[in-house]
Amino acid sequence: MKTTALTAALTLVAGAALAEPVAYDLDTSHSQIVFNYDHLGFSTTYGMFGDITGVITFDAEDPAASSVEATFPVASLMTGFAGRDEHFLSGDFFGAEGAAPEVTFVSTGIEVTGDTTALITGDLTLNGVTQSVVLDTTLNQQGTHPMENKPWLGFNATTTLLRSDYGLGMFAPAVSDEVEVIISVEAMPQE
């Protein structure tokens, strides 16, 4: 009887330890943010931000209790045309040399919508302005990385922003105010 009770207690303690949230660092080399917008009705223009750092605290047993924080420099902007990059980084838009050279996202809540999907609400600070946004998120994979041989996470997320909400509305509405944002990140356990 005592052995059975002890085994049950140890199982409960071990189970509780396994259920603890795990902190994962974003894999900067495999994380990016792609955006696109309508240019005067003639084309869809794309750009990308990189150098993303941050932490996902992932609770596999209760994903709604997870959290995410991420930061990236505005100066990591790439659109495929140096002149456009320079204009975007100027005072007309981001002013990357100015007072707000980084973009940050801090989650404030997670609503699980399916086995691998969730809506992550958070505060996005862009160009010195903070607005609440919702990321429609999918857990692509949770498993052992085949080359690193350790646990790994991969997520995709999308949202749509209004440039004008962040003081970046020059040329709107001719150049669309709406910007579609596509995020893809990988993350590894903190060491």
What does the mean pLDDT of the chain come to?
90
- Please give the model's pTM, rounded to 2 decimal places: 0.87
User: Given the structure tokens 């994962």, which residue do they identify?
Assistant: 24
pLDDT reported for residue 191: 86
Please identify, in words, the CATH class of the domain defined by 22-189. Answer: mainly beta
CB 88 within 8 A of CB 126: no
pLDDT at 142 exceeding the cut of 90: yes
Q: Tell me, what DSSP letter sits at residue 3?
A: H
Which of 130, 132, 131 minimizes the C-alpha distance to 121? 132
Evaluate the CA torsion angle 79, 82, 84, 89 in order and state its sign. positive
Confidence at 158, pLDDT banded by 50, 70, 90: very high
Q: What residues are paired with 102 via a beta bridge?
A: 73
pLDDT reported for residue 155: 98
Before 173, cis peptide (omega within 30)? yes
Confidence at 7, pLDDT banded by 50, 70, 90: very low
pLDDT reported for residue 6: 41
Question: pLDDT of 74-103, one tens digit each?
Answer: 999 999 999 999 999 888 888 756 667 899
| CA 97, chain centre distance (Å) | 23
